[in-house]
Amino acid sequence: MKTTFTVPSEEESLPLVLSHFSKIDQDWISEKDWLRCELALVEGFTNALNHAHKNLPAETKIEIEVNITRENMEIRIFDSGPGFDLAGYIEQLNLEDDFSPTGRGIRILLKIANHLSYTRTSDNNRNCLLIVKEFAL
């Protein structure tokens, strides 16, 4: 099952993101896995909003794509920001410091995701945060 939706780059869009996400809930996904995926979506969206789009007009859209299979959920969050080196950021991030004022969203994503990447799209106009969460069997 695959769904895609776009929302404006404004904090008021978070309830809309969650509303779209709740419509694709599958009863065979455990509540624990579902809540972790929802938290990952919120953290990824918030990072796109607060970092990638912080200097862009509110009308600039953030696109979200969710693909659910029996094995996993893939969440792709597309932003139009300048991009950054996620791998380099993770290398210098103190993963043990849960009280640091920065990097909490990335720490959470690293704890939830089985795979996490941030790359420039082939059209070079957007970035894609890919979050893959494998479901517990």
Does 96 have pLDDT greater than 80?
no
Task: Catalogue all structural domains in the chain, each as residue range(s) with its CATH number.
Answer: 2-134 (3.30.565.10)
Q: 78: which 2 tokens?
A: 């597309």
Strand order in the sheet with 72-79: 2-8, 61-68, 72-79, 127-134, 115-120
Does 24 have pLDDT greater than 90?
yes
Does 101 have pLDDT greater than 90?
no
Q: What is the mean pLDDT of the chain?
A: 92
Does 21 have pLDDT greater than 60?
yes
pTM of the model: 0.93
